[in-house]
Amino acid sequence: MLPYVPPDPNQITIIDPGIPVSVVVVTTVNQANVTVIYRFGFSPSPARNALQVDYSVTGLALTVCTAFLQQSFDGGVTFQDVGAVVDLFANPQGSLMVFFAVGSLVTSPIYRFRIATLTTTSMVVNLAVS
């Protein structure tokens, strides 16, 4: 299944199980990177189990990419880093909880990525809830 790309980066996309969503899209326009970071949240697990969220990074000429996961409890006005910075080039796929050292993902905050370093011509970060 192709990932859903939200039409508006300021819109909050709720990621439901089984539907991958693109949360970071980087393209090159006039030899400069254009990075679009989408805000997202999660639906509660029907059985109240912990959320299992996997990420996948793909890109062209991707050689450097480090990122933080951020969360906001005030509707997206302010965001704070949670967990640790992750080298997405060295770890192109995995679990948000494992690689970002996040204790738990909850349904109330809004999340987004903060790219710390980046060298690429194009890149996409997709998330999927299992």
Fold of 12-129: Jelly Rolls (2.60.120)
Domain ranges of the chain: 12-129
What element of type H or E holds 105? none
- List strands edge to edge, sheet with 21-29: 32-37, 21-29, 122-129, 53-60, 93-95
What pLDDT was estimated at residue 59? 94
Q: Which residues contact 88 (CB under 8 A, 6 or more apart)?
A: 55, 57, 65, 66, 67, 125
Give buried/exposed letters for 2-29 (b at 16+ CB in 10 A, else e): ebeebeeeeebbebeeeebbbbbbbeee
Tens digit of each residue's pLDDT (9 = 90 or more) over 72-110: 999 999 999 998 899 999 999 999 988 888 877 878 899
Q: Provide the mean pLDDT of the chain.
A: 91
Q: Is the pTM of this model over 0.85?
A: yes
pLDDT at residue 45 greater than cutoff 80: no
pLDDT at residue 2 greater than cutoff 80: yes
